Structure 1
Amino acid sequence: MLNSVIVVDDEAPIREAVEQWLTLSGFTVQVFSRAEACLAQLPDAFPGVILSDVRMPGMDGLQLLAELQAKDRDLPVILLTGHGDVPMAVDAMRDGAYDFLEKPFTPERLLGSLRRALEKRALVLDNRTLHEQADHRSRLDATLLGMSPTMQTLRRQVLDLSPLPVNVLIRGETGSGKEMVARCLHDFGSRADKPFVAVNCAAIPEPLFEAELFGHESGAFTGAQGKRVGKLEFAHGGTVFLDEIESMPLAQQVKLLRVIQERRIERLGSNQSIEIDVRIIAATKPDLLDEARAGRFREDLAYRLNIAELRLPPLRDRREDIPMLFSHFSRQAAQRLARSAPALSGAQLSHLLSHDWPGNVRELANAAERQVLGLDNPAAEALAGGQSLVAQQEAFEAHCIRSALQRHRGDIKAVMNELQVPRRTLNEKMQRHGLVREDFLAEGNSPR
């Protein structure tokens, strides 16, 4: 339960008495002699109650109430009044004050009002958190597309990890969306309003790597014209995304490890140590520990980067998401190119589902754009993969069953009715395609 109280009163004896009562009663108390000081130091979404005198020099209690209402209409404010101020305090309650206490008041009266106000504040903040979480889920569903169980798990992991101050390692094949996941970890966390700096470690020539990451002073090396802030320093307060981290030169791995440990950097050509606050999100295709055993990566750095790991499934392992993704990319391309998005036939969809998509989501997006441009037929594109007719039919059948199981959340009877197949046939096909009913169950569903 919340227990924070701010007391604003210009009379020191009252401030001290109230602070003593509340502290002995288990509250966390902060006191101010002037309303202006309270406003200047009040944090956003303050998790508590404001207790303020009405008559004070400078900004009075009513003006403070108005300022607080402008910042947060749900913040409880209890006014302390003299006898002559009661009618004014009643008007203030109509304007949003939570309660008023007429001086002199008893500790019991004060404590009762505060506890009720804190209960209300707790409910308000809980509701805000729930709405914010729902908004995040909605936005994330629209960003990391897919209804396959693996994508649902990935979205939950991203929401869980995004607010935490830990380094994250993302593993996935080329084109599987590693940078997008890194961006979501940044955008849905507390660093969202700070820089997100992406660095492709494989694209930087080794002689320039240190200068790119750490910056340099003027004249630090031949051609170093003027001072330059490096990527790590520029990202202060935010996130650095190190893509293809396995390509980082070993000499720079040592320096990155030191940055992670000490949270400080030194520019090339400088002896000055600069404090930085960055979250490191790294991405890799191979297993970094395998790279370490082969002598290509530092094992201690691998462990430092892999506080939490996210694994991105290749597109071939979530074929049920292909129709949704292809449609999404087609609409995007059509809007950008001012063209219409052609509809897919059943045969074209079957071909899309049978292709292995070695380039993953990136390859699928390119195929959708080519289709909108009329440069490629997605059916021909998939056929080029050499899949037999039987393999394509099998892939399409698996997609249909997966989609039905997903829509009905594992309700076998509903799937049988939709697909119009007997239970024994459905069971055989699910077993052949490696589909397990439990993977699609909604919480609380009982077996059928």
Structure 2
Amino acid sequence: MLNSVTVVDDEASIRSAVEQWLNLSGFQVQLFSRAQECLAQLPRDFPGVILSDVRMPGISGLELLAEVQRQDPDLPVILLTGHGDVPMAVEAMRDGAYDFLEKPFSPDTLLSSLRRALDKRGLVLENRRLHQQADSRAKLDATLLGVSQALQTLRRQVLELAPLPVNVLVRGETGSGKELIARCLHDFGPRAGKPFVALNCAAIPEQLFEAELFGHESGAFTGAQGKRIGKLEYAHGGTLFLDEIESMPLAQQVKLLRVLQEQKLERLGSNQSITVDLRIIAATKPDLLEEARAGRFREDLAYRLTVAELRLPPLRERREDIPLLYAHFAHHAALRLGRKAAPLGGPQLGRLLSHDWPGNVRELANAAERQVLGLQEPQAEAVDSGQSLAAQQEAFEAQCLRAALTRHKGEIKAVLNELQLPRRTLNEKMQRHGLSREMFVKNS
């Protein structure tokens, strides 16, 4: 339940009396003597109500109302007026004020108006939150492509973890999209407007690692010309993505752990502590705790990084996503190269589904680009998938159903005609594969 009230009045006695009444009634109160001060500290989506006098030095209550209306038309403003200001206050209500109270007013009248205003504000903010969730879900669906249950679960986990101030470990095979997941965790969270800094721990020579991570002052070591900001400091306020974290030298693991514990660092060649506020998202192929047990990684750092863990399934475990991903990569390759992407035929689709994709999504994207360039048919040489024939047939059938439902935007009659199936058979197959007409009508 919302209970925040901002009071703006140039009379100290009024501020003191109102604060006393509201505190006794369980409200959180913030006091300002000038409207300018209130506007300077007014947060976006303020979870409360503004209670303001009309006549004040500088910016008046009416001017405050106009500015609040410009910033957030749904933020309730209750005006406090003298007897002669009543006609003005009535006009202000036409301009968007929530209510006005004529001085002197009773505590009960004030509390009644505030509670109604706070109830309204609560509904507005809840509605905004639901809309933002829906928008985020739609944007994430367009970024993390896939119809498999594994991808649906992964998208849900990303949306749940993105707003939380916790470090995340992303596990997955080479080419499975770990950096894309890290980017989504950043972009869909509160740090989205701040830096996203990526560092591949396996690509940096050990003797340069500390300078790369912590930065250095001029002359800190031979060749250190000028001051350099390290990745940790550069990511202040945002996210640092450490790919192949298992490759980080043990000596640097100790120093990274200290930064995570103290939220401070020192550049090489400096004794000055610099405060850093950042979120660490690390990525690894092996199990980091197993690496720690084998003595190849610090166990205390592993636990610090693995507050939450996301596992990216390899492409061979979500074969039903392959046609959608392939079409996406082929379309973008065709746009970039000025070529035309040929539609997939049945034999080509079968080869895509039967390939094992050891390079995962990265390999699939490369295959799509080569096909657009006319350098090869999609996976002309199929690799044993390790799945039974029945499992591969199920995956192929599911993809055919999705493709037809997508083409016809969930129009069942058109799907029946195209696939030449009885209605009952189509219903049974859709149910078995977790498909519904609404999924395709909504996304059309």
Tell me the TM-score normalised to structure 1 length. Answer: 0.90
Instruction: State the secondary structure of the residue aligned to 1:169.
Output: strand
Say whether 1:400 aligns with 2:418: no
**CA distance in 1: counterparts of 2:308 and 2:74, whole angstroms:** 37
Instruction: Give % identity.
Output: 73
Match of 2:440 in 1: none
Question: Does the 8 Å contact 2:367/2:379 carry over to 1?
Answer: no
Aligned counterpart in structure 1 of residue 383 of structure 2, from 379, 382, 385? 385
> What SS is found at the alignment partner of 1:378?
coil
Q: What is the identity, as a one-letter code, of the residue corresponding to 2:392?
A: A
**Equivalent residues of 1:350, 1:396 under 8 A apart:** no
Deviations 1:337-386 (A, max 9, x none): 12211111100000000000000000001111111111111041xx2536
The SS at the match of 1:281 is strand
Per-residue CA distance 1:113-159 (angstroms, 9 max, x = gap):
11000000000000110011101000000000001000000000000
The alpha carbon displacement at 1:197 in A equals 0.3
Match of 2:439 in 1: none
Instruction: Give 1:321 deviation, angstroms.
Output: 0.4
The residue aligned with 1:190 is: 190
Equivalent residue number for residue 277 of structure 1: 277
What amino acid maps onto 1:42 in structure 2? L
Change (3 A) 1:11 1:320: same
CA distance in 2, matches of 1:407, 1:297: 49
CA distance in 2, matches of 1:54, 1:169: 53
> AA paired with 2:397?
C
* 1:360 to 2:360 alignment: yes
User: Aligned-pair distance for 1:287?
Assistant: 0.5
Q: Deviations over 1:219-269 (max 9, x none)?
A: 111101011110000100100000000111111111111111111111111
> Number of aligned pairs?
427
Question: In structure 1, what is the equivalent of residue 315 of structure 2?
Answer: 315
1:202 counterpart residue number: 202
Provide the rounded CA distance (Å) in 1 between the counterparts of 2:398 and 2:422: 11
Q: Distance in 1 between matches of 2:121 and 2:423?
A: 55
Distance in structure 2 (CA, Å) of the matches to 1:128 and 1:308: 27
Q: What are the ranges of 5 or more consecutive residues in structure 2 without an aligned counterpart?
A: 406-412, 437-444
- Letter of the 2:4 counterpart: S
Superposition pairs of residues 68-79 of structure 1, within 5 angstroms: 68-79=68-79
The one-letter code of the counterpart of 1:395 is: Q
What secondary structure sits across from 2:143 in the alignment? coil
Q: Secondary structure at the match of 1:142?
A: helix
CA distance, structure 1, for counterparts of residue 374 and residue 24 of structure 2: 76
Does the aligned pair in 2 maintain the 1:235–1:278 contact within 8 Å? yes
Q: Which amino acid aligns with 1:398?
A: A
Give the drift of 1:440: 3.6
**1:63-105 superposed Cα distances (whole Å, 9 cap, x missing partner):** 0101111111110000111111111111111111001111111
How far did residue 419 of structure 1 move? 8.2
Q: Residue 233 of structure 1 contacts residue 276 of structure 1 at CA under 8 Å; is this kept in 2?
A: yes
Question: One-letter code of the match for 2:358?
Answer: P
TM-score normalized with structure 2 length? 0.90
Cα pair 1:147 1:406 within 8 Å, conserved: no
The answer for the alignment partner of 1:90 in structure 2 is 90
Question: 1:402 Cα shift?
Answer: 6.5
Indicate conservation of the 8 Å contact 1:7/1:31, yes or no. Answer: yes
- One-letter amino acid of the counterpart of residue 40, structure 1: A
Distance in 2 of aligned mates of 1:267 and 1:243: 22
Over 3 Å off, 4+ runs: 390-394, 401-408, 417-424, 439-442
Q: Which residue of the partner structure matches residue 328 of structure 2? A: 328
Give 5+ residue unaligned stretches, structure 1. 409-413, 443-448
Letter in 1 for 2:9: D
Q: Once the 2 structures are TM-superposed, how far is the Cα of residue 404 of structure 1 from its aligned partner?
A: 4.5
- Give distance in 2, aligned partners of 1:274 and 1:134: 39
Deviation at 1:293, TM superposition (A): 2.1
Larger mean CA deviation between 65-74 and 305-314 belongs to 65-74
- SS at structure 2 position matched to 1:6: strand
Q: Is the 8 A contact 1:6 1:30 kept in 2?
A: yes
Per the alignment, residue 291 of structure 2 pairs with: 291
CA-based RMSD: 2.7
- 2:265: which partner in 1? 265
Q: Does the C-alpha gap of structure 1 residues 54 and 403 become closer, same or farther in structure 2, counting only changes over 3 Å?
A: farther
Deviation at 1:395, TM superposition (A): 2.0
SS for the counterpart of 2:80 is strand
Aligned-pair CA distance for 1:401: 3.5
Contact 1:3–1:48 (Cα < 8 Å) also in 2:
yes
Matching residue's letter, 1:400: E
One-letter amino acid of the structure 1 residue matched with residue 176 of structure 2: S
**For each residue in 1:279-308, what CA deviation from the matched residue of structure 2 results, as whole angstroms up to 9, or x when unmatched?**
000000001122122221111111111000
SS of 1:30's partner is: strand
In the alignment, which residue of structure 1 is the partner of 2:300?
A: 300
- CA–CA distance in structure 1, aligned partners of residues 230 and 339 of structure 2: 42
Give the conservation status (yes or no) of the 8 Å contact 2:191–2:238: yes
CA gap of 1:354–1:393, structure 2 versus 1, over 3 A, is: farther
